[in-house]
Structure 1
Amino acid sequence: MIRVEDRGAARLVTLYRPDKANALTQLMLAELDAAVARAAADGVSVLILTGRGKVFSAGADLDGMTQGLGQAPEWEVLSRRIAHYPGLTIAALNGTLAGGAFGMVLACDLRVAVPAAQFFYPVMKRGYLPQPSDPARLQALVGPARARQIILAGRRVTADEALAWGLVDVIDEDVVEATLALAADALQADPAHVRRMKAMF
C-alpha cells in the first residue's frame, strides 16, 4: 500500500500502512519498484520516499516472513532500481527505520530524518542475512566499524548519532519540507542537467 503524488518537479512516494508501522509486504515491494520505474520513465528529477505515521518502516511484514519474505529477491531488485535512478533520490524518514527497509534508504542519494527516528537492523538475532548490497552501502556511509555495530551487533542508533556518523544528512521535524528545501536546486534545474550530474556519481 503506497501513495504517489507530484510536488512540482518532485514525486513523493509514501508508504501507506501506518496501522502496521509501514511493514513491507511482497505486494508493497512490487508497488514501490513499479513506482520508481514509472518516475524514471516520466523523467522526474527528484524522487522522495517517505512514510505515513510515526514510523518510516518496521521492515518486513511478520506474516510475510513466515512465507519467505525475508529472503525474497524483490528487496534487492528495489534497492538496485533506486540506486540506479537517473535523478536525485532522497529518503524523508518520518520515523524509525528498521530491518529490510534499510535497503531502499541506503540506496538513496540523501537522507532526512525526524529527531525521534531510530535506526536498527536486527538480522543477527532473527537469523536472516541482510540484503546483499546493504553492508557495502552502509559501510560507505558510516565506515566499517560502525556498519558492523549496526548489522553484526544489532546496535540501535539515534537520529543524532546517525547524523554524526553520516547515515543521515539533515534532521528536521518536517522531513518532506526539509527534503524539498534540500532538493531546491535540482527542482529548479533542467531535468537533463540533473541526469547528467547524477551520472557523474
Structure 2
Amino acid sequence: MIGITRAGEVVTLELRRHDKRNALDTDMCTRLRDAVEQAVVDDARAVVITGEGSSFCAGADLSGEVYAAQFPDALLAMLRSIDSAPVPVIAAVNGPAIGAGCQLALACDLRVVGDYGRFAIPVAKLGLAVDNWTVKRLVSLAGGGPARSVLLGAESIGAERAFEVGLANRIGDLAAAQEWAHTIAGLAPLTLRHLKLVLNDDGTLAPPNDLQQAAFVAAWSSQDKLEARAARAEKRAPRFEGR
C-alpha cells in the first residue's frame, strides 16, 4: 500500500490505494509512519510523499474506518512522525488533498502542488472535528483568512490560490518535487534539522484547553456525526441538529 523508491539520498513514498483514491485507514497510516521513520534510519536526506494516480489523498476512509476507535491515534502518530522527522519532507500534491489528506500535506515541510491539486478539510460537513495542531498549522501556513474559509466555510483551495497564500511552496509535478528534494538533500543536514525544529515551533504542539477539548470530544461523540454517516450511505444531505 506504500510504494518505496530511493534515488541517491532521496526516498519517495507513494500512497497506493488507487481504488479508494489513496484514502487513509489505520493500516495505511501505520505503514506510512513506519516508512518515514525507516527512511530516517536509512540516512535519507530528504523524503517525498505523493499519491498514486490522480489523487494525493482523499482523506480518511469514510466507508467506516474513520469511525474506528484506533484510527484517530494512528493518524496523529503518522502526522507527528512526519512533523518530527529530522529531515525535510516534501509533499508532491498531485491531486486533491482532502481531510486527512490535507493534514498529511500540512505535516510535510514543503508542498509542491500540481495543477489539479487542491486542499480541503470538510469536517463541518461530516459532524467531526480536527485537533488543535491541524487548525493552527493551517493558519500558520495559509493565513487566518484562508484557514477560516477552509474550516468554517468548508471551502477548498486550488493550486494557484494555495501558492498565492503560501500553502503551496511551488507549482509542479512529482518530478519537480523530487528534483527540489535532491537539491535540498545536498544542503547542510544539521542546519536543516535546526530550521525545521524552529519553523515547526508555531504553537501547534500546545495542548488544547479544557473548553477546546470538551468541544472536540462532543463533536466526535455527537448524533450529528452519526447523521452525517447515515446521510452519506443514503446519498442525501445531512440534517444536523447540534447534538
Report the TM-score, using the length of structure 2 for normalisation.
0.76
Displacement of 1:144 after TM fit? 1.3
**8 Å contact from structure 1 (residues 46, 88) kept in 2:** yes
For residues 180 and 164 of structure 2, the distance between their equivalents in structure 1, rounded to whole angstroms, comes to 18
Cα deviation code 1:121-179 (max 9, x no counterpart): 1101101111331111110011112111111111111111111111111112xx22111
For residues 182 and 34 of structure 2, the distance between their equivalents in structure 1, rounded to whole angstroms, comes to 25
Counterpart in the other structure of 1:197:
192
Displacement of 1:186 after TM fit? 2.3
Instruction: Kindly tell me the number of residue pairs found equivalent between the two proteins.
Output: 195
Opposite residue 129 of structure 2, the aligned amino acid is L
Counterpart in the other structure of 1:143:
143
**8 Å contact from structure 2 (residues 9, 182) kept in 1:** no
**8 Å contact from structure 1 (residues 76, 103) kept in 2:** no
Displacement of 1:197 after TM fit? 2.4
Counterpart in the other structure of 2:68:
67
Cα deviation code 1:1-29 (max 9, x no counterpart): 11111021100010001111101111000
For residues 73 and 105 of structure 1, the distance between their equivalents in structure 2, rounded to whole angstroms, comes to 18
Report the TM-score, using the length of structure 1 for normalisation.
0.91
Structure number with higher relative contact order (C-alpha < 8 Å, ≥ 6 residues apart): 1
Q: Equivalent residues in 2 for 1:1-201 (5 A)?
A: 1-63=1-63, 64-68=65-69, 72-172=72-172, 175-189=173-187, 193-200=188-195, 201=198
For residues 73 and 124 of structure 1, the distance between their equivalents in structure 2, rounded to whole angstroms, comes to 20
For residues 100 and 125 of structure 2, the distance between their equivalents in structure 1, rounded to whole angstroms, comes to 14
Opposite residue 192 of structure 2, the aligned amino acid is M
Opposite residue 178 of structure 1, the aligned amino acid is A
Displacement of 1:181 after TM fit? 2.3
**8 Å contact from structure 1 (residues 100, 130) kept in 2:** no
Q: Which runs of 5+ in 1 are unaligned?
A: none
Q: Secondary structure at the match of 2:135?
A: helix
**8 Å contact from structure 1 (residues 87, 195) kept in 2:** no
Opposite residue 52 of structure 2, the aligned amino acid is R
Counterpart in the other structure of 2:221:
none
Counterpart in the other structure of 2:236:
none
Displacement of 1:180 after TM fit? 2.1
Percent identical among aligned pairs is 31
Counterpart in the other structure of 2:213:
none
Of Structure 1 and Structure 2, the greater strand share is in 1
**8 Å contact from structure 2 (residues 46, 182) kept in 1:** no
Counterpart in the other structure of 2:212:
none
Displacement of 1:66 after TM fit? 4.1
Displacement of 1:67 after TM fit? 3.0
Root-mean-square deviation over aligned CA pairs: 1.5
For residues 66 and 26 of structure 1, the distance between their equivalents in structure 2, rounded to whole angstroms, comes to 11
